[in-house]
Amino acid sequence: MPQHPDPEQPAAAATPSAQAAVERIAIHGDLLDLAAAPAWADPGSEAVRWRPDHWLLIEDGRIAGVQAQDPGAEWQRIDHRGRLVLPGFVDAHVHCPQIDMIASYGAELLDWLQTYTFAAELRHADPAHAAAGAERFADALLSHGTTAAVVMPTVHKVSAEALFAAAQRRGMRLVAGKVLMDRNAPEGLTDDVEQAERDCRELIERWHGRDRLAYAVTVRFAPTSSPEQLAMAGALCKEDPTLYAHTHVAENRDEVRWVGELYPEARSYLDVYARAGLLHRRSVLAHGIWLDAEDRAALADAGAVLAHSPSSNLFLGSGLFDWTALAARGAAIAMASDVGAGTSLSMQRTLADAYKVQALRGQRLTAWAALYAATRGAARALALEDEIGSFDAGCAADVCVWDWARGSVAERRDELARSLHERVFAWLVLSDERNLVSARVAGIERYRRGDPP
């Protein structure tokens, strides 16, 4: 008979014996992923792969296939009948240290940084604090159904080390790098070009390409890096095209004006990065609210990804992201929680906010376009489509199991759904991390809910 997980028991530990015990796993449930990019306003998209009451086969930590029939006793069968099974979410932009100041009151971006963010990040100079924070953060991601992320730690090398180590222990796909800031930041949060380059090179040598980790040359944003530091960062990317670049762009109007004062030779905020060699196929730029048509064309032509952060944009009052204009130009868009200005690590809450942002612009974001930006679309944008974001055979078995509904209101809404899109859209809007039953990373269960469904 299929095995039923005991919700009162802790998730399997990352030990060789645990890995050996789960070499062949079959998960039974309602399987949902996307085979391709859905059209913008198509609730009936053929890109959707909906396989209810099916078995997801996992062998040696990778997806081996999907089938309707019971695979037999030679597989460890786990029955999640009547539950939603999705690929793990991908968070394209999030700040590890900012869990400490999430939901802080009353500031726009630049005041937010000075009042809350920098104070929280200063504490990560302490190795013990950085290590504890990284462990807490990695566990928090998994408990929200996020199994892969592009993350900013702090300017401190120990913060990046701790983050990579925490992700490695959990087998997670993580893209991160020491933050670069050599001006316009408090003492204790600035580096210099020479030391920053040494730190980056040492971190790249130790972590880039190791297990499921990758290094991102991480400029916080143009105002906190000198032209010399930006040039150094661009040179690192040019030297090794497998490196990512990760930064912020055009989030807030005051910020955009400030960048114009600091870099008067650049055509735009985005052009500052382009001139420095930081706009390329592996560039991840958060926000992008205040871009013009030329910027959108440059993003698309470079193959860079825009990390849309709707919860953060609403919370700080930064503006309304023009998804359709960027998508029409062919630029890649991935979803991002941007905690701590974002108010939850829950990708469902983030996607629900993305819907509201587009509604305010007179557009309607389908459940499929939203899910794509947090799964396969994010993976494709990050050049990781062969590893994460779908149930394609050969992908890493980063798999999350969800309750369709929790609570009387959500249960009633689920009962009345007339189509798959209506059901999934209601799930996106009404669910959150409390719906998560189990999260697996490369086939190994790293989170299991402790309360009964």
What digits encode the pLDDT tens for the residues 407-423?
999 999 999 999 999 99
Q: Where residue 3 falls among pLDDT bands split at 50, 70, 90?
A: very low
Q: What is the mean pLDDT of residues 174-185?
A: 97
Contacts of 381 (CB under 8 A, 6+ apart): 92, 305, 332, 333, 334
Q: Where residue 241 falls among pLDDT bands split at 50, 70, 90?
A: very high
Which residue is it, tokens 């209810």?
Answer: 52
The conformation of residue 116, written as its DSSP 8-state character, comes to: I
pLDDT at position 11:
46
Q: Where residue 279 falls among pLDDT bands split at 50, 70, 90?
A: very high
Dist CA 355 CA 8 (whole Å)? 35
Q: Please provide the average confidence, as pLDDT, over all residues in the chain.
A: 93
pLDDT at position 451:
58
pLDDT at position 17:
37
**Paired tokens of 187:** 């003492």
Dist CA 339 CA 272 (whole Å)? 25
Express each pLDDT in 291-310 by its tens digit. Answer: 999 999 999 999 999 999 99
- Which amino acid, 381? A
Helix (H) or strand (E) holding 256: helix 253-262
Q: What is the mean pLDDT of residues 250-260?
A: 96
Dist CA 158 CA 127 (whole Å)? 6
Q: Are 439 and 88 in contact (CB under 8 A)?
A: yes
**In this prediction, what percent of the chain has a pLDDT beyond 70?**
94
Q: What is the mean pLDDT of residues 351-364?
A: 97
Q: Are 398 and 442 in contact (CB under 8 A)?
A: yes
- pLDDT for residue 168 is more than 50: yes
Considering only residues 9 and 335, tell me which one the structure prediction assigns the higher pLDDT: 335
Sorted by where each starts, the structural domains of the chain and their CATH numbers stand as 16-87+397-448 (2.30.40.10), 89-345 (3.20.20.140)
- pLDDT for residue 145 is more than 90: yes
Q: Are 210 and 173 in contact (CB under 8 A)?
A: no
Q: Where residue 99 falls among pLDDT bands split at 50, 70, 90?
A: confident
- pLDDT for residue 18 is more than 60: no
